[in-house]
Amino acid sequence: MSTDLILALDVPTREEAAPLLRQLRGSLNWVKIGLQMFTAHGPDYVRAVADEGFNVFLDLKLHDIPNTVAKAVESLAPLPIGMLTLHTCGGREMMVAAQKAAAQTKPGLLLLGVTVLTSTNAAGLAETGVNAAPESQVLRLAKLATDAGLRGLVCSPLEVPVLRRELPAHMQLVTPGIRSAAAAGTDDQKRTMTPAEAARAGSSFIVVGRPILKAPDPAAAARAIMEELRQRHNQTQANDG
């Protein structure tokens, strides 16, 4: 299984993003647009990034009553997006409605169920009344999402091994919380892995923001991560052969 890289375009303005995208064009395929950029610049910015040649992962983490989320999916379907997130804690009925809306309006759209945010640990879960360990809660939500018909999940790379054991092989696992060994533990991400570790665990995609955005040469940083993933894939193929 190969692992692809998604750039988390978590910057304040499109003016700041523009030179980064110019540098990174040709270095990676996917760009994630989250709440910050979507709220500031709206659907037109999604189209602009797609026009630059990138595949767009729209990370809005939809969470509302089933009908509202389904209508939101329908509204977003005309945009040039390949992935869209919703919160699995919205429940089975909400996820079923969202998946049905996607199938009817944009069959190729990959709806990703967000399980437990990588900024959340056991203490954070307990504050919200969830007394399970993060791994247990992720697995519970992941199975619920699978039963609801979703074909992908967002989770910490630490939970990927158990999900690969417990879920169908076709599930796409998208993992933020990717840091170099030197940077681990230096920011708000609490459950992290390096790119190679995440690929080894079975991540379909890794989401990387700050390690690329804050690098002196973002394009070189992206290429280095892609090379790390490529080497890991080649090593796996050699071992399997």
Nearest residue to 195 (alpha-carbon basis) of 71, 205, 237, 102: 205
Which residue, 175, 177, 198, 207, is CA-closest to 8? 207
Find out whether 58 and 33 touch, Cβ atoms under 8 Å.
yes
User: How many other CB atoms sit within 10 Å of the CB of residue 144?
Assistant: 18
Q: To which H or E segment does residue 85 belong?
A: strand 83-87
- Helix residue spans in the chain (DSSP H): 14-24, 35-51, 66-76, 92-105, 122-127, 134-147, 160-166, 195-201, 210-213, 218-240
Burial of 118 (0-12, 13-18, 19+ CB in 10 A): buried
Do residues 5 and 32 lie in contact, with contact meaning Cβ atoms separated by under 8 Å?
Answer: no
Beta bridge partners of 25: 28
CA distance 28 to 222: 7
190 is known as an active-site residue: no
Q: Which of 61, 71, 100, 143 is catalytic?
A: 61
Contact 229, 199 (CB under 8 A): yes
Can you tell me which residue has the tokens 């056991």? Answer: 122
Catalogue the active-site residues.
Answer: 61
